[in-house]
Amino acid sequence: MTGTAWAALGVGLILAGLLALAKLRPARGGLNSPQWMLLLGAVGMLAGMAVDAYAGGLETLSALCTGPRGLGAMVLLHVTQLPLAHAGMIGGGLLVLPLMPRLRRGCRRQLCAQLGQNLVCSAWMVVGMAAGSLVFLELAGWVQAVREPAAVLAGMFAGMVWGMVASVTLVQALVRLSLGPRHHGQRSESP
């Protein structure tokens, strides 16, 4: 597979994740808090990754290509090899906290304005980035392709989106469980 093929696969999985997120959290006009968090987190990640790449060049991403096969070890490798990319993703996502109450008045008391919820969602996105890299690198092995930075990047971005989907799904399930069956049809503002 070429870099273009990895990018196409990554974009397809990102779009599928965004569709799943739109089903889980339909927007009532404009972007909702998970969508803002993804957008700002992706911008922060790209900015941090640019600095990481400048500091270590493509060797940084190449280290991930030959990295471990376990999820915990891959998360550790991601955080140590691309620290500013991950800090940028979390920092960008945290911008949702002051942004959402300005965009939606009711957000002040809801989950989209809570630091803990945002950090848990960021953690899911970090794990998703590492898991996406692992999946794409395994796929490269199955199709006997070169394990290259394009596969890692595509997996990271797709994994970040699907990490958000996992976080939103779990938060919604926990909210439903805590409210009980009589509140099942009501929605809450959560990433």
Residue in this structure with the two tokens 């994994």, named with its chain if needed: 159
Q: How far is CA 70 from the centre of its chain?
A: 19
CA angle, corner 113, sides to 110 and 115, nearest 5? 120
| Whole-Å CA distances, 15 to 42, 69, 127, 158 | 14, 26, 19, 9
DSSP-assigned letter for residue 184: T
Tell me if 88 sits within 8 A of 49, measured CB to CB.
Answer: yes
Which pLDDT score is estimated for 145? 66
Contacts of 176 (CB under 8 A, 6+ apart): 183, 184
Kindly calculate the radius of gyration of the chain based on its CA atoms and give it in whole angstroms: 17
Which pLDDT score is estimated for 110? 52
Report the candidate in 191, 147, 146, 188 with the shortest Cα–Cα distance to residue 169. 191
Which pLDDT score is estimated for 146? 64
Report the candidate in 80, 122, 73, 77 with the shortest Cα–Cα distance to residue 97. 122
Would you give per-residue pLDDT tens digits along the chain (191 residues)?
Answer: 777 888 899 999 999 998 898 888 876 766 777 888 888 999 999 999 899 888 876 677 777 777 777 899 888 888 888 899 999 999 998 888 888 777 666 655 555 557 777 888 899 999 999 899 888 888 877 877 666 778 888 888 999 999 999 998 988 888 788 776 655 455 444 45
Which pLDDT score is estimated for 190? 46
Tens of pLDDT, residue by residue over 20-44, are 988 888 767 667 778 888 889 999 9
Which pLDDT score is estimated for 162? 94
Which pLDDT score is estimated for 106? 60
Which pLDDT score is estimated for 45? 92
Distance separating alpha carbons of residues 180 and 176, to the nearest angstrom: 6
